[in-house]
Structure 1
Amino acid sequence: MESGKELTGTLALAVFTAALGSLQFGYSMGVINAPQRIIERHYGRSLAVLSPEAAVLSPNRTADMFQEEESGTHSSVVMYWSLSVAIFSVGGMVSSFLVGFVGDLRGRVKGMLMVNVLAVAAGLLMGLCKMWKPHVMVITGRAIMGFYCGLSSGLVPMYIGEIAPKAYRGALGTLHQLAIVIGILISQVIGLDFILGNDDMWPLLLGLSGAPAVLQSLLLPLCPESPRYLYILLGKEREAQESLYRLKGAYDASADLEEMRREKEDADKEPRVSILSLICSSVYRRQLFVALMMHLSQQLSGINAIFYYSTAIFAQAGISQPVYATIGVGVINTIFTLVSVALVDRAGRRTLTLVGLGGMCCCAIAMTVGLKFQEEYSWMSYFSMAAIFLFVSFFEIGPGPIPWFIVAELFSQGPRPAAIALAGCCNWTSNFLVGMTFSYIQAWLGPYVFILFAALLFGFTLFTYLRMPETKGKAFEEIAAIFQKGRKKAPRYAIDGVELQQLKAATHA
């Protein structure tokens, strides 16, 4: 009756329901890769049929174009395929700015419920793409799904971070990443050619990316709203208390309510923190810098490059079905994210991030050695495979899951939505840039490409050691105090980055 630290059934339901959005995010990221050649053939057929003017100009042109696009070599097919992949990140980049607005409009639960309309619409467009122009419908569906995932990747960690008990905040926050890697793994398995990754079933494979949204829509009405949202933003203390009881069971909620009351008082002393004011504010500058660097370390670590190389390395090592080895990487992903769930509230966020980044740095150097000498020494391919598995393992221990929920811990209720929106946009933008530029960097550096990532990882490890505080077991106001302590001559209050003295001068003027 005292602590309220127990994991109740309602809390488990709420976290599971929210994490379905993360599962959909992961599935949508991974699903497009397995049926690439099949989708390209269908694009080629569609484009050949849609070019009747070619037949008028040259009777043999349509047949020639059809054959080219059947093999996936025609420039139009390549362009539309690249757009199908890249548009997902573009949608996420755009919508990540709206996370705070959607989360505050009607609440976290209703916000997740509203955006599910986008996921269902995207799933239907892709699932029914054979009915019209496959390339147009898939690209449109991927754009809408990316827009949904940009919102979901912010709303889910925000909601889980606000409802999780302090003792379990790290473990429950890590479930966002766990759901993502499970979604990727599911897409890899059912994307095998003898399941759904074939010429007949690939639209269903893409369309299923909207299925988690249907289940989540059925469960969300059973989930309590975030108590912090109810109390701090809406001032509804009684409703917040009821929500706490639903989430934590019967216990003395006075300590939690008092913490929220103090946070509300601080939030009431300053206007609503917008994205622009957060960027300009000197009060939150250190927290924001740490949050953005955490997300940059996730995307610039080289994890996407590892996945890019893995299939080729597995094939060279003599594995007849490299796709199964790639699925093995997905299994490793899932297992070590579970390890992170178990350790994050014991070892701490800072420790796991340091171990993960440092381990990845060493593995990147090992990958460089393996890629350089694998043609001279056959056993080097197996050395490279081991480096891949270890690299992925270290990523999922810390740098993979922790950035998603650390932002919600670093900021109080007022600036939290704007901070999550900025961090999400940073994540999506860097992901997009890596995807667009990696092939050029790889062509330039060849087998030494991972030396670049090793240098970046060393820099991120050093930054984490010097600047990132430990947030394990601390209240939100305690974490904020850590950053305030390091500010020289910090103003007592700040409004949109303008010190109180400046505000008074402006008022008198």
Structure 2
Amino acid sequence: METGKQLTGTLAVAVFTAALGSLQYGYSLGVINAPQKVIERHYARSLGLWSDRSALSENSTEETDSPGVERHSAVVMYWSLSVAIFSIGGMVSSFLVGFVGDLKGRVKGMLMVNVLAVAAGLLMGLCKMWKPHIMVISGRAVMGFYCGLTSGLVPMYIGEIAPKAYRGALGTLHQLAIVIGILISQVIGLDFILGNDDMWPLLLGLSGAPAILQSLLLPLCPESPRYLYILLGKEEEARKSLHRLKGAYDPTPDLEEMRREKEEADKEPRVSIRSLIFSSVYRQQLFVALMMHLSQQLSGINAIFYYSTDIFSQAGVSQPVYATIGVGVINTVFTMVSVALVDKAGRRTLTLVGLGGMCCCAVAMTVGLRFQYDFSWMSYVSMSAIFLFVSFFEIGPGPIPWFIVAELFSQGPRPAAIALAGCCNWTSNFIIAMAFPYIQAWMGCYVFILFAVLLFGFTLFIYFRVPETKGKTFEEIAAVFHKKRHIQKDNTELEQLKTSTDA
């Protein structure tokens, strides 16, 4: 009889269904950028600041005492809020991931939060019926709140139902769905598809469409066996769920692993976010988890997306928007490469290769930007560095932090750890989005040297502090940190003993 390593149809449906939430997250991330000018015009009309058909940019070139400048500032304020409110919603709701996941289970939790996504889609899709700026900002806030929850619930559910042999590949599908969502939003956001004056509300409203499909499919998905056994103590239901997910096999080893984990969890009180922060037992795992997420957001990947259109323009690309879509395609292709490699090469190896490669690309980009006016071909060096930077990001630093948190922690502290890591990710994303224009203005063409230094530091951290989790049970991964903690404790005691002896 098989050992439960095979990929069954039910497991495929469950992972696909969960990943629809990630697709929606990616779509919501990318959809707001393409129709920016169109949306700004509608904001101006809604605010009563648009008396003619002239473009917003024409108003902004008038003298300082012209009312057009005030109009432009008001519209820019509402536009900035439309973009930023998404991250704020995610930052707030990421703290609730553990509560929602434990309240009714992982599957029902994802089903419950879909109400938010549909509501957000309707607010944005019907925004022309009232004041577009208020409707869009409200919809983006609700969608951000939804995405903060789903960016935690999806990796948690997939991590708990995936067989050990395929846990990395299936976990990487969360990031793959995100980048596919971003690519879809870039393509259908083109002016001649939906990113135009008439269709842009539909473009934004489609953000909620995956939630409808997911709501139809979720009742077909088995609940997480780990949730059923360890949190609810329902061994028989966990056994049925394992059979549905893995087919005909003997689930005794899996149930035995869960039983030991449950015994460990029962020895200590439920791990809240506050107790996890102050716990010495989980300190090393938490530090690694947060640093992995910081390495993803502080790598400069968002800065690359902000800067790419400008670099492509300088390189003589007549339609830089298509080059940006090309970056989206590279994003998707190399995330698929990561799916294929992560369970062979390992999480640690791919993250090291990715961060190291990005560091080299950041240096190359700086050289290209510095000399692009002296040598015309240097623009192409910068452009190549962008594509390679994105490729290295998606091989490791992009997908791995999302699912490795679920691997680093046992069932008890896992929801709180995912919530904290998610909040760290959203917060650092928001800070980079707000701070990058100022850093860019200050450092000019040398801005990517800053990211090169950060990437080098993160590479060293991963090399010295992050263990390989490929092919290990949750129990074995916890034992690695337990062993490290004891070694550190013994070293500290030896140092103290030596100091007292010397004295």
In the alignment, the residues of structure 2 paired with residue 63 and residue 9 of structure 1 have an alpha-carbon distance, to the nearest angstrom, of 58
Counterpart of 2:210 in structure 1: which amino acid? P
Q: Is the 8 A contact 1:14 1:224 kept in 2?
A: yes
* CA shift for structure 1 position 37: 0.3
Alignment partner for residue 318 of structure 2, among 295, 300, 320?
320
**1:368 maps to amino acid:** T
The whole-number CA distance in structure 2 between the counterparts of 1:6 and 1:35 is: 44
Cα displacement string for residues 338-362 of structure 1 (whole angstroms, at most 9, x for unaligned residues): 0000000000000000000000000
SS at match of 1:473: coil
- The aligned counterpart of 1:22 is 22
Between the aligned partners of 1:302 and 1:341, the Cα distance in structure 2 is 22
> Does the 8 Å contact 2:226/2:258 carry over to 1?
yes
* Residue 8 of structure 1: aligned partner: 8
1:371 partner amino acid: L
Report percent identity of matched pairs.
85
Report what 1:403 is aligned to.
401
Task: Choose 140-149 or 481-490, whichever is displaced more.
Answer: 481-490
The question of 1:277 aligning with 2:297 is answered no
Aligned partners of 2:445, 2:380: CA distance in 1, in Å?
A: 16
Residue number in structure 2 paired with 1:418 = 416
TM-score where L is the length of structure 1: 0.93
For this pair of structures, how many residues does the alignment match? 479
* Partner of residue 73 from structure 2, selected from 72, 75, 88: 75
Residues 385-444 of structure 1, C-alpha deviations (whole Å, 9 max, x = no match):
100000000000000000000000000000000000000000000000000000000001
**CA distance 1:67–1:476, change in 2 (3 Å):** closer
CA spacing shift, 1:163–1:315, aligned 2, 3 Å:
same
Partner of 2:377: 379
Letter in 2 for 1:328: G
State whether residues 40 and 70 of structure 1, in contact with CA within 8 Å, keep that contact through their aligned partners in structure 2: no
CA contact (8 A) 2:117 2:143 kept: yes
- Does structure 1 residue 133 correspond to structure 2 residue 120? no
What is the distance in 1 between the residues matched to 2:303 and 2:59?
26
For residues 307-344 of structure 1, what are the alpha-carbon distances to aligned partners after superposition, in whole Å with 9 as ceiling and x for unaligned?
11110111111111100000000000000000000000
Give the AA of the match of 2:183: L
Alpha-carbon distance in 2 for matches of 1:236, 1:468: 34
Distance 2:369 2:151 in 1: 34
Q: 1:319 to 1:242 in 2, by over 3 A?
A: same
* Paired residues for 1:118-129 under 5 Å: 118-129=116-127
Q: Does 1:178 align with 2:176?
A: yes
Q: How far, CA to CA, are the matches of 1:219 and 1:234 in structure 2?
A: 24
- After superposition, residues 73-472 of structure 1 pair within 5 angstroms as 74-472=72-470
Distance 1:277 1:427 in 2: 20
Deviations 1:430-462 (A, max 9, x none): 000000000000001000000000000000000
Instruction: For residue 63 of structure 1, report the CA deviation from its aligned partner.
Output: 3.7
Superposed CA offset, 1:349-378 (max 9, x none): 000000000000000000100110111111
**Distance across 2 between alignment mates of 1:354 and 1:321:** 34
User: 1:470-485 alignment to 2 at 5 Å?
Assistant: 470-485=468-483
- Contact 1:45 1:70 survives alignment (8 Å): no
Determine the C-alpha separation between the residues in 1 that align with 2:77 and 2:156: 36
**Is the 1:30–1:188 contact (alpha carbons within 8 Å) kept by the matching residues of 2?**
yes
What secondary structure, in the 3-state scheme, does the structure 1 residue paired with 2:201 have? helix
Contact 1:45 1:66 in 2 (8 A): no
Summarize the Cα distance change of 1:200–1:64 in structure 2 as closer, same or farther, 3 Å threshold.
Answer: closer
Runs of 4+ in 1 over 3 A off after TM superposition: 62-73, 488-491
What secondary structure sits across from 1:161 in the alignment?
Answer: helix
Change (3 A) 1:436 1:153: same
CA contact (8 A) 1:185 1:331 kept: yes
Aligned AA for 2:250?
D
Letter in 2 for 1:266: E
Give 2:176's aligned amino acid: L
**Matched AA of 2:381:** F
Q: CA deviation at 1:489?
A: 7.6
| Aligned partner of residue 461 in structure 1, secondary structure | helix
- Aligned equivalents of 1:138 and 1:440: distance in 2? 26
Contact 2:94–2:149 at 8 Å: present in 1 too?
A: yes
Paired residue for 2:501?
none
Alpha-carbon distance between aligned partners in 2 of 1:202 and 1:256, rounded to the nearest angstrom:
49
Separation in 2 of the partners of 1:305 and 1:234?
A: 44
The offset of 1:245, in angstroms, is 0.1
In the other structure, the counterpart of 1:58 is none
Q: Indicate if the aligned counterparts of 1:298 and 1:399 stay in contact, CA closer than 8 A.
A: yes
TM-score normalized by structure 2?
0.94
- Range moving further from structure 2, 121-130 or 1-10: 1-10
Mean CA deviation greater in 334-343 or 311-320: 311-320
1:497 counterpart residue number: none
Tell me which amino acid in the other structure corresponds to 1:277. S
Q: For residues 337 and 68 of structure 1, do their structure 2 counterparts lie closer, same or farther at Cα, with a shift above 3 Å needed?
A: closer
Contact 2:41 2:56 in 1 (8 A): no
Following the alignment from structure 2 to structure 1, what is the Cα–Cα distance between the partners of residues 102 and 16? Answer: 21
1:2 Cα shift?
A: 3.0
Cα contact 2:41–2:55 (8 A) shared by 1 = no
Instruction: Give the letter for the 2:30 counterpart.
Output: G
Secondary structure of the corresponding residue to residue 486 of structure 2? coil
